[in-house]
A and B are shown apart, each in its own frame.
Chain A
Amino acid sequence: MSTENLPGVPEEPIARRGMFGAADSGDTSGYGGLVVRRPPKLSSAKPYGGYFDEVADALERVAGDAYAGMVERVVVDRGELTIHVARERLVEVMRHLRDDLALRFELSLGVSGVHYPEETGAELRAVYHLCSITHNRRIRVEASCPAADPHIPSTVSVYPTHDWHERETYDFFGIVFDGHPALTRIEMPDDWEGHPQRKDYPLGGIPVQYRGATIPAPDQRRSYA
């Protein structure tokens, strides 16, 4: 492992809990005493290197004065460019990214969600991976929303392929994509309660529809303590 990839010194270490009765560490084996550290909030300064500067400059040019309100921060990490966009301006940014001649991200690879329960006010993230076939480039766009107000505007009008992807992210994370043509569950049953990929949702512990049987949550199943 190269040392520059290691996370910086975190403000306060957090421990993962809840598996196999290992309450004092995040280690499922029960032997490590691991402390899982919170990832640092990264933000990169210009120049970003490679084509990333061209992409950022082009976006700044088309957005004009609005750029500062659109782009919250830019992260360059492991050779990937991530643009964190304010959710109110997401559709506008996506349209610029798709249509501007210098950007031309024609192909979207869909939406992925991530839940960061510790990041108050930005717990839920929608992550978009875009690809430009014209320029042979890739970028990542992220928009966040608080868990208390899980709304992000739908980008189906810009990238029709986001139809199912947004449904999936809604299904698993509960992010409501405002303006989606038919935002319903796609993988889980229609009457399912909760959003399973959130971090506070347990693995197991869900009553199953088989003669009233229930599967206990892993932390209640067995314990090495």
Chain B
Amino acid sequence: MTAIHDGETARSEQDVTEGKVYSVNGQDWDEVVSAVAESSEERLVINMGPQHPSTHGVLRLVLTLDGETVTEARTVIGYLHTGIEKNMEFRTWTQGVTFVTRMDYLSPIFNEAAYCMAVEKLLGITDRVPLRAQTIRVMMMELNRISSHLVAIATFGLELGATTPMLFGFRERELVLDLFEYITGLRMNMAYVRPGGVSVDLPAGAVDKIGEFLKIMPGRIKEMRKLLDENPAYTRRTKDVAYLDLTGCMALGITGPMLRAAGLPWDLRKSQPYSGYETYDFDVPTENSCDVYGRYLVRVAEMEESLKIIGQCLDRLSGSELKGKPVMIEDKKIGWPSQLALGPDGLGNSPDHIAHIMSSSMEALIHHFKLVTEGYRVPAGQAYVPVESPRGELGAHVVSDGGTRPYRVHFRDPSFTNLQAVPATCEGGMIADVIAAVASIDPVMGGVDR
């Protein structure tokens, strides 16, 4: 944590509009503390971030303190703004997937799914997306929910001073990322979900690997629970901290685990199902404590529910009904004509397809070329598609003017909205609880700033 910074000097006495400025440059904490103690000033304004390890990236908090009590908490964002929404307007609809996947980088599959479902809604092909693709999407989303919640809990522990949950969390997350890499070729930012289906079918052996994961994971979650559920150091830091009740959640537009920890079983997978979620058997865990501990419990329970859903997906994918079925819409005007395959020089178009377009069909070559470079047109109009991401309602508002590129894409990212709860949950509390409060929101700045 740094006191307001003015650049070079260790402790500047320069004139400011109000009060005195202390800079912290490392190894001078005692000096700063004694200088502050001498001062008669009651109010201390602390700048926390954007490069603070417990601000989940580049969040900046400006905290006004009276002693150890936070009297005012202001949140400053925008440090990771990369203009993704603007950039998408200059690329084709399919290329948009590679942009949205980089927004909330801990839950890329959800970004992709929300965007693709919005494009499908605009195209009017929602009902024609193959069932196998839908099932793979659900499975990938639930795997991603587990990996995202694991990071949330891992960083949570670390920020409260416990390194073991961090090590456990990241170790378990690695299992999920390995699965992602095996299925899509990439650990993150995989651009796997595409309008019309998914980019490539599950590779041989994927079902077995996920089956193994399902065997390992319940024990690992139990370990995490043993470590934290009843841990007095942990519960004292989290129980009754950062209280936000249902009224506050509604007013501030808070969704996701924070809302469910306030007692409302609002989960879009149940209330407004998509991708066939209504056919899966799972529960929506809730807590009534409205505090940081409740949000933790909801997240852990959600991971257990996700495992149930993944198990059901696996049964369906390996069952006779879906085995070997297409994963991309049959419409050749939308789905890319080739399947990805692993060649001697890496992942690329399948050799069969290359042979087809290079030696036997000029038309197929032209079609492939046009579809990939120019893309397809999407009828004019707008669509809003929400999905239940690990952090709450992730909505894609997509506008088309009838062209081959999006006219406007806006992501309603849950981290962005949920961060507005920082003043409501932190003001009047202790400064140490700010860390727990922000961690329980689980903001991902890539999604906040886009």
Residues of A within 8 A of B (CB): 1-2, 4-7, 16, 19, 26-29, 31-32, 34, 36-40, 42, 77-80, 82, 106-110, 112-115, 127, 129, 131, 133, 136, 138, 140, 159-161, 163-165, 168, 172, 185-189, 196-197, 203, 218
Contacts and interface: CB of A to CB of B under 8 A. Distances in A.
Interface string B373-406: 1100001111110100000010101011111110
A36 B412 contact: no
Contacts of A7: 379-381, 402
Contacts of A80: 382-384
A5 B124 contact: yes
A129 B90 contact: no
B266 A133 contact: yes
Contact of B78 (A31, A131, A189): A189
24 contacts: A1-B333, A2-B124, A5-B124, A7-B381, A19-B90, A26-B403, A31-B373, A32-B370, A34-B403, A37-B380, A37-B401, A39-B380, A39-B381, A80-B384, A110-B412, A110-B416, A127-B382, A127-B410, A129-B397, A136-B271, A136-B272, A161-B251, A161-B417, A187-B449
A109 B402 CA distance: 26
B83 interface: yes
A61 B124 CA distance: 33
A37 B252 contact: no
Main secondary structure of the interface of A (DSSP, over half): loop
B123 A108 contact: no
Given A36-B401, A197-B86, A112 B410 contact: yes
A187 B450 CA distance: 9
A113 B419 CA distance: 20
Contacts of B272: 136, 138
A34 B420 contact: no
B401 A164 contact: no
B175 to A, nearest CB: 33
Contacts of B408: 112, 114-115, 197
Contacts of A42: 381
A36 B403 contact: yes
Contacts of B91: 28
A187 B448 CA distance: 9
Contact of A78 (B81, B89, B124): B124
Nearest to B247: A106
Given A6-B379, A78-B121, A164-B420, A29 B87 contact: no
B379 A196 contact: no
Nearest to B375: A29
Nearest to B78: A187
Contacts of A203: 83, 86-87, 89-90
A161 B252 contact: yes
Contacts of B89: 203
